[in-house]
């Protein structure tokens, strides 16, 4: 059996070993066994932390053909491709034939016999994966640090040595320190590699230092040099859903069960990294000889070529051995690999939840300028989640419209920064006229390049989308603008985005928490509107905000909040028959008194509020108390709404 | 010099193909066994190496290839110096079987100058040698060589196809196949009891279009083995078919003239696949897939035959392209100069080729995934047969080609490129242009499915079942759901164009209006998701252009292109329009034509046309005052022109019922919505799929007609409706209402899978229609149903009342004598004092205006309180 060291550094060796062993026994099912082998290995304690992550480590530090992991988001699915699963090579000198395995590889060995009868054609699928859009800096920081606790020291000493030692000649030490770049024969740009670090650095400013702060510092030092010479890879559009995103994108080759993956899934992929320069060279050569009338080549446009076969140094290939679907991307929680573990963890946090909730409520009240009711609703919004769909109706969504936001001192942006620190992924969308008229929100299929051009609404589940309507000024929306506003409206009402496939539209369900900050009532629909009642005089706002920011530095508390919010979302929930009955009675009574006061829609909302309220307290079933409390805060909110009824003409 | 020549020659994969397999009769040639050969697991076409570097030799070949010469002969007689002669014969393309068959088989005189056209769609077929099944593999060559004993056992290398038998079988098929039940429109006008394909041959002889489409299903039903061979070895079998057809044709019609020899184009391979299910096993097989064309390339001229001329002695030679490569002759055969031959482009032969990209149809796709695309090559006359946006069924050969070897590299990308060589296109949406025959749509239901659907239809409460399966998350509103259900099924299409009346609308239009927040939009969303050809738009965001069609200039071609909008796109489907009331008048006016004539006329930028828009409209409107005012009529509440309203068959009000029992049920329903388990959800989802199929089946196969009783019942119902009103001097029904009733009754019969509209259908139609009327056309003043609210915008009582007041006012003014001017307020007070019923200010104003219209008086100055009335001199 190969040693631990081997299966990470030389997974292909393991695969080939199994392949060779299977030759005597054709029905051994070696492919399944190979996958099984890696799965078992990864199950071992902490084994998965040994695997280097593409998210954290610049690509040029990674050894080609080694096992890596990648926390990613499926942005596009390419067409399936056929490859040589098994092929035969002929040694030109000795004429000896060897049977070889083509699985998990991009490039064949020399001297392929194309007419061998032993050739087996197999099929695999390619996904274009990007890092999870809108993933907040703290997630990256923590996951790169805490998943490799024993490496922190090493990291500081220079991770480069560690990888360089174990790898072969190709891995050049950090290119930023190598003056003679032109020596290399192929295009192996490191521009992209250094960008994640750069970004991390950029975000590090307002960032609260984490417990693993020591490591962050060193990293920053290390990246200072390369950060000056980035930004030349822009000729290749890596198609990130959100503008300004950076990070490695990857072509993930999937060998089995590809139907189980869906667009916009979050995955942690364990696979074999392939950055063979041959791939880039092939692409180069194509450009030069594009005038050739070769039937196999004129079928692809140059754009398509560029998209589907980008240089491997920019977009590495990852041959998937094993992938797990991520329920969340909060690094502070155990990922849901083994459900028993997970439920134990959930149970342990349940008891603490009410107290954390109090703290969070106090904190948010402070942030929301002393408005406790708004803070309560904000918590409910942050833990909301579409848990089921009844025909077209998504249940559990809770889009919050926070009206009455002060427009001074860029309050809305400050508020976003607070939210950004609490949730794993989020995105700020300033709804300025320019943005609405120019941004591409809805993904669109580009048939020339044959890819899905991403848009800002292509987000992973449970991403917080923060719409800042205070940025909107008077003016005219053009066609794109109208389409964008409609798309946002659809997203909020139905939790779906209609991707534009030119000849038709395709509906992709999504699960995005939308928070709208506005002055008056928003022009977009929402499930719930709360008008902010500030306890702070506008003149003191500036001062107040500056002190507010200080509070967030307490990192352990922040981590508690982060865990709390993610856990509350993962809990199960039920309503007992008893409570059902009393809720029904309540509804009938309320209607009896004043039928205008409560409609079916109100009941819908109250049920959601009650659900979220229970979950926020760590209760997994609805109690009478929670129901009454839900009724109570709804009544408070409604009474507040009355006062602001006629703010603008957007009422239906 | 052709560049590809170079690359072929410099190919590093220089393992000679022949040698490996121990074919020692073959001289080891520096081969071009490069990765252009198909990666199929079968071995085939190995000795292509011989053809690559050796030019097609000598003069016979040259003049044979001149357009007048039959190609078969030329190929047969091409001796290759490097290869033993006996093998050469066998490896030539159209040389099949025994010598005798060669002599007789070639349509001797028959070809009569008819050139064979190359079939690039089949790829290079000419290198397929035959082997004797019963001989030992090593002696293969010998067995083939000995022509004398090569009898029926000869098969093409790598297949089990024996050319002679195959040809014979196909000819028998052509001569005998009869399909008395054929419904295909291609066969229209043919005698179904005569051999089908012989009639087609006759057609070819008359029309002169040398293409023979063969339905694979026919082949299968005639000879399953032949069909299997056709599917598995199309590259070998189709040329055999070609040969068979040509022999037969020229035998029967020896005098006819064709531009080319007839080509056989099989279609409808039963192994029809969705793009998603294509896998490596399908390589080199005949497949039929459906999809949507998303891109077509420009025409690519592909060299079929290169013309070389010696620079020294002007000796010329021709080389055929083999799998995309041309082997440049290294030595001039005439003067023996090396490297003296140059390619003469304009004397080479090219064929047309086009790259087409096909994308999966949205219906075949699993949720949450992106559609796959496939590349298709069309050759010769199939070029430009399809346009982007067309839905097509493509029959062709699935190919996989390895990535090209890079001369600078020794290893290869281990990925194949796949494409389909198209043999036959069939547009699936072409039908919609011509007629209403949807049978060709062939939405396939499995026997089981049909059985389940029929069982469901046989249940007495199927109507209720289906309506409750519709949008289960929306509570109650039973009648509205029933209305929508009938809309989904639609009436029967009737064509009266011969009598000049044109098409009768078969679609049911429904308007939902009511309080905001009564899940109208949700219903619309549900319907939109349920029907395959549904469109959802919001009145607020759509313009008339977005609904109908607009003309656009294509940025590339500068051509004017007609882009269709939601209404046209939902032809044969349902167009859901939300916020109908917020639509601009301009936009709404477009709907007038669509909702009655079911067409859209466009006259824009020089394009004048009429498009079909046979769409049912499901619209939702909010009341103007945000809350429904029960004291007002429908028209007043939603402020839509009555001309438009009268085009809706059913207008429903969705109001809050406000009663306790209802509240309780509603609460229960909603709460259960929030805690139901996954399994219950599953069940429901299944229901939706069944519902979808049920509707699709009924729409396709059931065309109910009115029975005698039903028409009597309809007449009675109509007469009754007219009677109701006539007693009070109102008209309560118009012919439009009768038409609505008919449509609804037909739809209801469809729900029952009944081919006949019976009395119960009429009863339900009447009931539903009455319900809808009761809700929307009840005169709030009298409580009676008054259709004129919808047809004229004003109830008959209101109109009567207005006239009465005007008369009273006139009398009052006359009684006052000859005053030249009067005060508004005083007049109102006087009138109020005189009248026993309350007179509102609006009523008074209207009466004044009515009198002004009669020129009885003029209103001079108008302020809220004070109006001078100028009486006209009488």
Q: What is the pLDDT of residues A284-317, one digit of tens each?
A: 444 444 434 343 444 556 667 777 777 777 888 8
Query: Do B372 and A87 lie within an 8 Å CB cutoff?
Result: no
Average pLDDT, chain B: 68
**What is the four-CA torsion angle of B239, B245, B247, B248, rounded to 10 degrees?**
160
Q: What are phi and psi of A33, to 5 degrees?
A: -65, -35
CA distance B670 to chain A (A): 7
Name the E strands within A20-156: 67-77, 81-90, 97-101, 120-131
pLDDT in tens, B84-124: 334 333 433 443 333 333 333 334 344 445 666 667 667 65
The percentage of chain A sitting over the pLDDT mark of 90, rounded to a whole number, equals: 4
Give the CB-side neighbour count of residue A337, counting CA atoms within 13 A.
17
Q: What are phi and psi of A323, to 5 degrees?
A: -140, 145
Which residue would you say has higher pLDDT here, B690 or A402?
A402
Give the CB-side neighbour count of residue A179, counting CA atoms within 13 A.
0
How would residue B69 be classed by pLDDT, with cut points 50, 70 and 90?
Answer: very low
Q: Taking a C-beta distance cutoff of 8 angstroms, is the pair B497, B503 a contact?
A: yes
Residues 6+ apart with CB under 8 A from A434: none
Task: Check pLDDT > 80 for residue A40.
Answer: yes
Q: What are phi and psi of A646, to 5 degrees?
A: -100, 60
CA-CA distance, B331 to A73, in Å (whole number)?
A: 59
**Closest B-chain CA to A309:** B413
What average pLDDT does range B453-479 have in this prediction?
Answer: 75
**Set of chain A residues whose Cβ sits within 8 Å of the Cβ of B41:** 117, 119-121
Query: What 8-state DSSP symbol labels residue B490?
Result: -
Q: Number of Cβ pairs closer than 8 Å across A and B? A: 249
CA-closest candidate to residue B773, choices B710, B716, B706, B720: B720
pLDDT value of position B755: 80
What is the value of pTM for the model shown? 0.70
**Which of B404, B671, B673 is closest, CB to CB, to A390?**
B673
Give the residues across from A324 on adjacent strands: A268
How would residue A381 be classed by pLDDT, with cut points 50, 70 and 90?
Answer: very high
Please indicate if any CB of chain A lies within 8 Å of the CB of B668.
Answer: yes
**Set of chain A residues whose Cβ sits within 8 Å of the Cβ of B576:** none
CA distance A156 to chain B (A): 39
Task: Check pLDDT > 50 for residue B18.
Answer: no
Which residue would you say has higher pLDDT here, B200 or B83?
B200
Q: Is B779 helix (H, G, I), strand (E, B) or coil?
A: coil
CA-CA distance, B312 to A487, in Å (whole number)?
A: 71
Task: Check pLDDT > 70 for residue B551.
Answer: no
Q: Note the residue count of chain A.
A: 652
Range ranked top by mean pLDDT from A623-637, B624-638, B755-769: A623-637
**Which of A82, A107, A652 is closest, CB to CB, to B622?**
A652
**Set of chain A residues whose Cβ sits within 8 Å of the Cβ of B402:** 84, 114
pLDDT in tens, B484-503: 888 888 877 776 656 655 56
CA-CA distance, A145 to A211, in Å (whole number)?
A: 10
Name the E strands within A166-312: 250-254, 266-274
CA-CA distance, A11 to A31, in Å (whole number)?
A: 13
Please indicate if any CB of chain A lies within 8 Å of the CB of B418.
Answer: yes
How would residue A644 be classed by pLDDT, with cut points 50, 70 and 90?
Answer: low
For B95, counting Cβ atoms within 10 Å of its Cβ (0-12 exposed, 13-18 middle, 19+ buried), the class is buried
CA-closest candidate to residue B507, choices B692, B747, B693: B747
pLDDT value of position B56: 39
pLDDT value of position B865: 47
What average pLDDT does range B591-605 have in this prediction?
Answer: 73
Alpha-helical (H) ranges within A495-576 are: 541-551, 555-570
Range ranked top by mean pLDDT from A336-345, B519-528, B550-559: B519-528
Range ranked top by mean pLDDT from A147-156, A239-248, B552-561: A239-248
CA-closest candidate to residue B798, choices B754, B837, B751, B747: B837
CA-CA distance, B38 to B323, in Å (whole number)?
A: 10
**Which of A77, A82, A604 is closest, CB to CB, to B280?**
A82
Give the residues across from B618 on adjacent strands: B510, B576
How would residue B455 be classed by pLDDT, with cut points 50, 70 and 90?
Answer: confident
Task: Check pLDDT > 80 for residue A619.
Answer: yes
pLDDT value of position A652: 41
**Which of B15, B20, B412 is closest, CB to CB, to A107?**
B412
Which residue would you say has higher pLDDT here, B532 or A561?
A561
pLDDT value of position A515: 92
Task: Check pLDDT > 50 for residue A160.
Answer: no
CA-CA distance, B750 to B769, in Å (whole number)?
A: 17
- Which of A240-254, B679-693, B801-815 is predicted least confidently? B679-693
pLDDT in tens, B189-201: 666 677 788 888 8
- Which of A88-92, A193-197, B595-599 is predicted least confidently? A193-197
Query: Do B674 and A121 lie within an 8 Å CB cutoff?
Result: no
**Which of A79, A447, A652 is closest, CB to CB, to B295?**
A447
Residues 6+ apart with CB under 8 A from B794: B633, B635, B788
Give the residues across from A530 on adjacent strands: A402
Taking residue A204's Cβ as centre, other Cβ atoms within 10 Å add up to: 15
pLDDT value of position B155: 67
Task: Check pLDDT > 50 for residue B574.
Answer: yes
Tokens 């591409």 -> residue: A440
Query: Do A574 and B15 lie within an 8 Å CB cutoff?
Result: no
Please indicate if any CB of chain A lies within 8 Å of the CB of B401.
Answer: yes
pLDDT in tens, B499-530: 655 566 778 888 888 777 667 777 888 788 77
CA-closest candidate to residue B411, choices B420, B401, B419, B402: B402
The pairing of strands B867-871 and B857-862 is antiparallel
Q: Which two tokens stand for residue A499?
A: 């991707």
Q: Taking a C-beta distance cutoff of 8 angstroms, is the pair B172, B179 a contact?
A: no
What average pLDDT does range B442-463 have in this prediction?
Answer: 72
pLDDT value of position A414: 84
Query: Do A584 and B419 lie within an 8 Å CB cutoff?
Result: no
How would residue A223 be classed by pLDDT, with cut points 50, 70 and 90?
Answer: very low
CA distance A203 to chain B (A): 33
Query: Do B369 and A259 lie within an 8 Å CB cutoff?
Result: yes
Q: What are phi and psi of A58, to 5 degrees?
A: -55, 150
pLDDT value of position B157: 66
- Which of A82-86, B248-252, B670-674 is predicted least confidently? B670-674
Q: Taking a C-beta distance cutoff of 8 angstroms, is the pair B419, B376 a contact?
A: yes
For B111, counting Cβ atoms within 10 Å of its Cβ (0-12 exposed, 13-18 middle, 19+ buried), the class is buried
**Set of chain B residues whose Cβ sits within 8 Å of the Cβ of A109:** 411
pLDDT value of position A1: 46
CA-CA distance, B802 to B843, in Å (whole number)?
A: 7
Average pLDDT, chain A: 74
What average pLDDT does range A364-384 have in this prediction?
Answer: 89
What average pLDDT does range A212-217 have in this prediction?
Answer: 38
Range ranked top by mean pLDDT from A513-522, B78-87, B440-449, B821-830: A513-522
Q: Which two tokens stand for residue A373?
A: 């009711």
Q: What are phi and psi of A16, to 5 degrees?
A: -65, -35
Q: Which helix (H) or strand (E) holds B578?
A: strand B574-578
pLDDT value of position A465: 92
| Spatial strand order in the sheet of B867-871 | B821-823, B867-871, B857-862
CA-closest candidate to residue B247, choices B343, B68, B105: B105
**Closest A-chain CA to B528:** A392
What average pLDDT does range B197-215 have in this prediction?
Answer: 83
pLDDT value of position A466: 92
CA-CA distance, B693 to B687, in Å (whole number)?
A: 10
Query: What 8-state DSSP symbol labels residue B613?
Result: -
CA-closest candidate to residue B418, choices B435, B439, B396, B440: B396
Taking residue A647's Cβ as centre, other Cβ atoms within 10 Å add up to: 17
Query: Do B688 and A80 lie within an 8 Å CB cutoff?
Result: no
pLDDT in tens, B661-672: 777 777 777 777
CA-CA distance, B649 to A629, in Å (whole number)?
A: 47
Task: Check pLDDT > 50 for residue B68.
Answer: no
Q: Taking a C-beta distance cutoff of 8 angstroms, is the pair A575, A374 a contact?
A: no
What average pLDDT does range A555-562 have in this prediction?
Answer: 82
Range ranked top by mean pLDDT from B113-117, B123-127, B670-674, B724-728: B670-674
Residues 6+ apart with CB under 8 A from A350: A567, A571, A618
**Set of chain A residues whose Cβ sits within 8 Å of the Cβ of B666:** 587, 600, 603
Task: Check pLDDT > 80 for residue B390.
Answer: no
What average pLDDT does range B857-873 have in this prediction?
Answer: 56
CA-CA distance, B658 to B678, in Å (whole number)?
A: 32
Give the CB-side neighbour count of residue B707, counting CA atoms within 13 A.
14
pLDDT value of position B449: 73
CA-CA distance, B276 to B289, in Å (whole number)?
A: 10
CA-closest candidate to residue B123, choices B299, B320, B375: B320
């Amino acid at each position: 059996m190969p040693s631990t060291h081997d299966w990470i550094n030389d997974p292909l060796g393991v695969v080939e070993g199994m392949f060779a062993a299977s030759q005597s026994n054709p029905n051994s099912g070696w492919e399944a066994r190979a996958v099984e082998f890696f799965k078992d290995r990864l199950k071992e304690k902490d084994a998965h932390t040994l695997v280097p992550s593409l998210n954290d480590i610049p690509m040029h530090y990674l050894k080609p053909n080694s096992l890596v992991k990648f926390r990613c988001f499926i942005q596009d699915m390419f067409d399936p491709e056929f490859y040589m699963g098994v092929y035969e090579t002929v040694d030109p000198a000795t004429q000896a034939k060897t049977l070889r395995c083509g699985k998990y590889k991009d490039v064949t060995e020399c001297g392929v016999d194309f007419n061998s009868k032993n050739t087996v054609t197999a099929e695999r699928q390619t996904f274009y994966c990007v890092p999870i859009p809108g993933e907040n800096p703290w997630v990256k920081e923590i996951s790169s640090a805490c998943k490799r606790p024993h490496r922190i020291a090493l990291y500081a000493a220079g991770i480069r040595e560690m990888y360089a030692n174990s790898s072969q000649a190709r891995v050049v030490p950090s290119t930023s320190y190598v003056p003679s770049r032109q020596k290399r024969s192929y295009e192996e740009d490191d521009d992209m590699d250094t960008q994640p670090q750069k970004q991390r650095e950029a975000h590090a400013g307002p960032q609260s230092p984490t417990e693993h702060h020591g490591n962050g510092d060193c990293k920053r030092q290390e990246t200072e040099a390369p950060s000056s010479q980035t930004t030349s890879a822009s000729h290749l559009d890596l198609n990130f859903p959100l503008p300004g995103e950076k990070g490695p994108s990857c072509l993930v080759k999937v060998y089995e069960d590809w139907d189980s993956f869906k667009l916009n899934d979050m995955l942690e992929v364990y696979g074999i990294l392939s950055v063979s320069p041959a791939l880039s060279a092939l692409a180069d050569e194509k450009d030069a000889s594009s005038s050739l009338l070769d039937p196999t080549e004129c079928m692809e446009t140059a754009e398509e070529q560029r998209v589907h076969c980008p240089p491997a140094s920019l977009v590495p290939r990852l041959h998937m051995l094993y992938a797990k679907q991520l329920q969340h991307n909060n690094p502070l929680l155990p990922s849901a690999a083994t459900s028993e573990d997970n439920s134990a963890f959930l149970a342990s946090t349940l008891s603490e939840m009410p107290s954390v909730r109090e703290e969070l409520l106090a904190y948010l009240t402070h942030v929301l300028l002393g408005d406790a009711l708004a803070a309560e609703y904000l918590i409910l919004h942050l833990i909301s989640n579409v848990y089921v769909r009844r025909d077209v109706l998504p249940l559990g969504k809770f889009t919050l419209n926070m009206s009455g936001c002060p427009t001074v001192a860029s309050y809305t942006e400050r508020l976003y920064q607070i939210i950004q620190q609490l949730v794993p992924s989020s995105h700020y969308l300033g709804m300025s006229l320019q943005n609405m008229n120019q941004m591409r929100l809805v993904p669109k299929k580009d048939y020339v390049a044959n890819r899905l051009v991403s848009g800002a609404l292509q987000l992973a589940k449970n991403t917080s989308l923060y719409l800042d309507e205070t940025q909107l000024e008077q003016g005219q929306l053009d066609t794109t603008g109208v389409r964008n506003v409609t798309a946002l409206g659809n997203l909020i009402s139905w939790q779906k985005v209609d991707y534009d496939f030119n000849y038709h539209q395709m509906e992709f369900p999504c699960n995005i928490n939308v928070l709208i900050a506005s002055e008056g009532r928003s022009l977009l629909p929402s499930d719930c509107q709360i008008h902010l009642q500030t306890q702070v005089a506008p003149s003191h706002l500036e001062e107040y905000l500056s002190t507010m920011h200080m509070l967030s530095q307490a990192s352990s508390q922040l981590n508690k909040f982060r865990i709390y919010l993610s856990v509350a979302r993962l809990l199960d929930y039920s309503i007992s028959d008893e409570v059902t009955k009393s809720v029904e009675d309540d509804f009938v009574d309320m209607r009896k008194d004043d039928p205008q006061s409560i409609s079916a829609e109100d009941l819908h909302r109250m049920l959601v509020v009650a659900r979220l309220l229970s979950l926020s307290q760590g209760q997994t079933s609805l109690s009478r108390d929670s129901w009454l409390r839900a009724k109570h805060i709804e009544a408070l909110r409604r009474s507040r709404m009355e006062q602001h009824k006629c703010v603008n003409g957007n009422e239906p | 010099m052709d560049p590809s020549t170079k690359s072929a020659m410099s190919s590093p994969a220089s393992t000679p193909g022949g040698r490996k397999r121990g074919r020692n009769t073959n001289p080891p040639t520096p081969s071009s066994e490069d990765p252009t050969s198909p990666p199929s697991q079968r071995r085939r076409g190995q000795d292509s190496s011989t053809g690559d570097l050796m030019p097609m030799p000598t003069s016979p070949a040259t003049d044979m290839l001149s357009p007048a010469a039959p190609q078969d002969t030329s190929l047969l007689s091409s001796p290759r110096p490097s290869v033993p002669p006996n093998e050469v014969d066998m490896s030539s393309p159209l040389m099949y079987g025994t010598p005798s068959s060669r002599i007789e088989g070639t349509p001797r005189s028959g070809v009569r100058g008819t050139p064979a056209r190359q079939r690039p769609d089949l790829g290079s077929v000419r290198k397929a040698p035959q082997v004797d099944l019963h001989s030992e593999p090593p002696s293969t060559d010998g067995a083939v060589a000995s022509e004398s004993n090569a009898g029926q056992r000869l098969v093409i290398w790598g297949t089990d196809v024996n050319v002679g038998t195959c040809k014979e079988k196909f000819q028998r098929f052509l001569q005998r196949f009869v399909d008395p039940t054929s419904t295909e429109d291609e066969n229209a006008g043919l005698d179904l009891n005569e051999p089908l394909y012989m009639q087609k041959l006759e057609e070819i002889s008359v029309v002169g279009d040398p293409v023979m489409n063969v339905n694979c299903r026919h082949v299968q039903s005639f000879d399953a083995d032949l069909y299997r061979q056709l599917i598995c070895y199309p590259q070998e079998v189709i040329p055999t078919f070609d040969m068979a057809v040509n022999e037969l044709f020229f035998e029967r019609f020896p005098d006819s003239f064709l531009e080319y020899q007839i080509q056989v184009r099989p279609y409808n391979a039963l192994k029809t696949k969705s793009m998603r299910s294509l896998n490596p096993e399908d390589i080199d097989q005949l497949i039929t897939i459906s999809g949507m064309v998303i891109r077509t390339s420009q025409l690519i001229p592909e060299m079929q035959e290169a013309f070389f001329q010696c620079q020294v002695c002007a000796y010329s030679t021709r080389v055929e392209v083999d799998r995309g490569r041309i082997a440049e002759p290294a030595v001039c055969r005439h003067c023996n100069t090396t490297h003296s031959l140059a390619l003469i482009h304009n004397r080479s032969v090219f064929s047309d080729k086009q790259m087409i990209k096909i994308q999966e149809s949205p219906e075949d796709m699993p949720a949450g995934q992106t559609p796959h695309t496939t590349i298709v090559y069309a050759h010769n006359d199939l070029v430009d047969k399809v346009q982007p946006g067309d839905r097509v069924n493509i029959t062709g050969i699935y190919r996989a080609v390895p990535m090209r070897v890079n001369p600078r590299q020794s290893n290869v990308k281990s990925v194949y490129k796949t494409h389909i060589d198209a043999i036959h296109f069939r547009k699936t949406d072409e039908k919609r242009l011509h007629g209403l025959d949807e049978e060709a749509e062939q939405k396939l239901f499995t026997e089981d499915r049909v059985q389940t659907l029929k069982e469901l239809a046989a249940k007495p409460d199927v109507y209720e079942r289906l309506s409750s399966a519709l949008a289960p998350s929306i509570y109650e509103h039973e009648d509205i759901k029933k209305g929508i259900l009938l809309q989904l099924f639609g009436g029967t299409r009737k064509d009266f164009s011969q009598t000049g009346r044109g098409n009768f609308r078969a679609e049911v239009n429904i308007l939902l209006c009511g309080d905001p927040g009564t899940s109208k939009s949700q219903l619309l969303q549900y319907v939109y998701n349920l029907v395959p050809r549904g469109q959802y738009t919001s009145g607020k965001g759509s313009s008339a252009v977005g609904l109908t069609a607009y003309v656009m200039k294509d940025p590339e071609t500068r051509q004017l292109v007609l882009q269709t909008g939601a209404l046209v796109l939902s032809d044969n489907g349902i167009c859901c329009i939300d916020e109908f009331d917020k639509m601009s008048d301009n936009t709404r006016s477009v709907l007038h034509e669509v909702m009655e004539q079911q067409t859209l006329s466009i006259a824009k930028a020089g394009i004048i046309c009429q498009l079909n828009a046979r769409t049912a409209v499901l619209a939702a409107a909010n009341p103007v005052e945000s809350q429904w005012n029960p004291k007002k009529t429908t028209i007043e509440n939603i402020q839509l022109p009555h001309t438009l309203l009268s085009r809706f068959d059913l207008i429903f009000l969705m109001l809050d019922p406000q009663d306790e029992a209802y509240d309780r049920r509603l609460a229960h329903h909603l709460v259960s919505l929030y805690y139901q388990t996954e399994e219950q959800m599953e069940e429901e989802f299944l229901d939706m799929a069944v519902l979808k199929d049920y509707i699709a089946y009924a729409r396709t196969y059931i065309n109910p007609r009115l029975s005698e009783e039903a028409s009597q019942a309809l007449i009675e119902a109509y007469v009754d409706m007219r009677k109701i009103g006539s007693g009070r001097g109102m008209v309560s029904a118009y012919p439009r209402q009768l038409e609505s009733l008919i449509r609804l009754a037909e739809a209801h019969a469809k729900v029952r899978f009944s081919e006949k509209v019976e009395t119960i259908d009429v009863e339900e139609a009447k009931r539903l229609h009455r319900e809808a009327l009761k809700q929307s056309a009840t005169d709030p003043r009298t409580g009676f149903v008054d259709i004129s609210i919808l047809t004229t915008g004003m109830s008959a009582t209101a109109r009567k009342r207005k006239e009465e007041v005007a008369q009273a006012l006139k009398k009052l003014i006359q009684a006052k004598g000859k005053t030249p001017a009067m005060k508004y307020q005083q007049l109102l007070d006087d009138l109020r004092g005189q009248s026993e019923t309350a007179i509102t200010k609006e009523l008074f104003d209207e009466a004044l205006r009515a009198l002004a219209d009669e020129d009885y008086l003029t209103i001079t100055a108008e302020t809220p309180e004070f109006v001078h009335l100028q009486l006209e001199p009488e």
